[in-house]
Structure 1
Amino acid sequence: MQFTASTVSLTVDDVAASQEFFTTHLGYAVQQAAEGFASLSRSDAFDVVLLARGIEVLPPEQRDQRAGGLILAYTVTEGLDEEEKRLRAAGAPITMPLREEPWGERLFQVTDPNGVVVQFVQWAGHN
């Protein structure tokens, strides 16, 4: 088996709010959208599908679940400081300021209106 794409599907309360966050702050483009659904993509990252909590396309046992307890992590090779400054200036909620861990990971986090945590990572020495 060969994979052709990677997609993360997130169940959220407000699809439009997450769609706006991902397109405005993270550079995603809308591929398809309908009531309670949006498919987003960018050429250098995994696709994101947003589904409204309670939507009937999900199996009944999944309909009331929300995206939670997960972090969407993007690894970059350069520009982490500039990206944090850009997102801060654009009004994106920086929920974990830029920091460096003892093992060499530099990172910061933003959180979308539905509580989806997005983390940007750069390994020290990759400036």
Structure 2
Amino acid sequence: MNIIGSAVVLTVDDPALSTRFFVSHLGFREVLVAQGITHLARDDAATDIVLRSSVGPGSSQRHPPTQVRAVVSFTVTGIHAEYERLRREGARITLPPRMEPWGEWGLQLTDPNGVVIQLVEWIPPAGA
């Protein structure tokens, strides 16, 4: 098998709200918009995001609710600068930067549909 790409598919109530969030705060761009589906991508190594409406095309019936909440995680550099930028832009930061015991800085933000995005930066231990 040769995997040449990847995407996370998220079912949300309002794909347009999540699209604006991912485009304005996280640098994604729209690749395809059709029948309740929006495909977002970046030009770097980020996984593509596919947002689909919780209401199917031509139907008023919602997909069944789920108890599982996905977290989309991106490894970044300069996490503190990203935090300041996101804060200035008014992004909903739900967990400010903090150092985890295993040597990773992390922060979380949440889009208008409740999708949790985690940004992490690995800080190698001193002498490593």
CA distance change for structure 1 residues 12 and 119 in 2, over 3 Å: closer, same or farther? same
Percent identity reads 43
Q: How many residues align?
A: 122
Residue 2 (structure 1) aligns with: 2
CA distance change for structure 1 residues 53 and 119 in 2, over 3 Å: closer, same or farther? same
Q: Distance in 2 between matches of 1:73 and 1:112?
A: 13
Q: How far 1:63 moved relative to its partner?
A: 2.5
Taking the TM superposition and a 5 Å limit, the aligned residue runs for 1:76-95 are: 76=76, 78-95=77-94
Rg: which structure is higher?
2
Structure 1 residue ranges without an equivalent (≥5): none
Residue 119 (structure 1) aligns with: 118
Taking the TM superposition and a 5 Å limit, the aligned residue runs for 1:98-117 are: 98-117=97-116
Q: Distance in 2 between matches of 1:70 and 1:125?
A: 27
Secondary structure of the structure 2 residue equivalent to 1:110: strand
CA distance change for structure 1 residues 67 and 117 in 2, over 3 Å: closer, same or farther? farther
Report the residue type matching 1:41 in the other structure. Answer: A
TM-score by length of 1: 0.87
Report the residue type matching 1:54 in the other structure. Answer: V
CA distance change for structure 1 residues 9 and 66 in 2, over 3 Å: closer, same or farther? farther
Q: Distance in 2 between matches of 1:89 and 1:42?
A: 22
Moved beyond 2 Å, runs of 4+: 62-68
Q: How far 1:65 moved relative to its partner?
A: 4.1
The root-mean-square deviation of aligned C-alpha atoms, in Å, is 2.2
Structure 2 residue ranges without an equivalent (≥5): none
Secondary structure of the structure 2 residue equivalent to 1:81: helix
- The yes-or-no answer on 1:54 pairing with 2:52 is no
Contact persistence 2:35–2:57 (CA under 8 A): no
